[in-house]
Amino acid sequence: MTATITPSRARITTIALCALAVIACAVALPSTASADLRLVRVTGSQTYVPGTFSFTGTALVATTVVPGNPVVPGNPVRVATTLAALGTDTTSGARCAALGFQSTIVPSDAPQRLVTDNRIVPGNPVTPDPVCNQLGTVTVSYRLTLAPDGTVTAATATAGPPSVDLPGDTPPVLG
């Protein structure tokens, strides 16, 4: 029996993961810390042995300013990314979910390129799915521009193998 992952389940998972990201970012911060939350659409594809999967979903990008110190100079910002996406095999139509969370500290004074590996998970109820179990992870590349106060001013997220940035490549400005 193949597990079915519906769009409503994907939305519920996204909301739950977003809540976890907010809690994770807020735990170790002083009350005066600056923070920002942005939802970023994730699209792209990745090829596996069973076939090529097209991914669509949502990522929450949460940022918080980290107090400077001699070990972390400049304007450090903690960036936490949380992903919930649905991958569909372009040939067979098999569907698998991808979930992930990552947190890192980056300088705010330069555009950032973060690459995360997100786990492919079976549907609910958890049943062995021979296709999804073969996939392992999906790579998501985030391109972010941050203001000194930690605000995300531009962001994109692409599923699949990372591409090479060309000079002048910048993420779209967020409104």
Q: What is the mean pLDDT of residues 150-156?
A: 88
3-state helix, strand, coil in the chain (%, to 5): 15, 45, 35
Q: Is residue 21 part of a domain?
A: yes
Q: What is the mean pLDDT of residues 69-81?
A: 75
Q: Is residue 165 part of a domain?
A: no
Total domain count, the chain: 1
Q: Is residue 175 part of a domain?
A: no
- Domain with 117, as residue range(s), is 7-159
User: What contacts 160, CB < 8 A, 6 or more positions away?
Assistant: 44, 45, 46, 55, 138, 139, 141
| Separation between Cα atoms, residue 68 and residue 17, nearest integer Å | 28
Q: What is the pLDDT of residue 166?
A: 47
Q: Is residue 115 part of a domain?
A: yes
**pLDDT: is 1 or 24 the higher one?**
24
Name the pTM for this structure.
0.71
Q: Looking at the predicted structure, is the pLDDT value of residue 48 above 50? A: yes
Q: Measure CA 109 to chain center.
A: 21
Q: What is the pLDDT of residue 167?
A: 46
Q: Is residue 173 part of a domain?
A: no
> In this predicted structure, which of 55-69, 73-87, 108-122 has the lowest mean pLDDT?
108-122
| Separation between Cα atoms, residue 10 and residue 5, nearest integer Å | 7
Please report, as a single letter, which amino acid is at residue 162.
P
Q: Is residue 167 part of a domain?
A: no
Q: Is residue 170 part of a domain?
A: no
| Torsion (CA) 24, 42, 114, 131 in degrees, nearest 10 | 90
Using CB atoms within 10 Å of the CB of residue 101, give its burial: 0 to 12 exposed, 13 to 18 middle, 19+ buried: middle
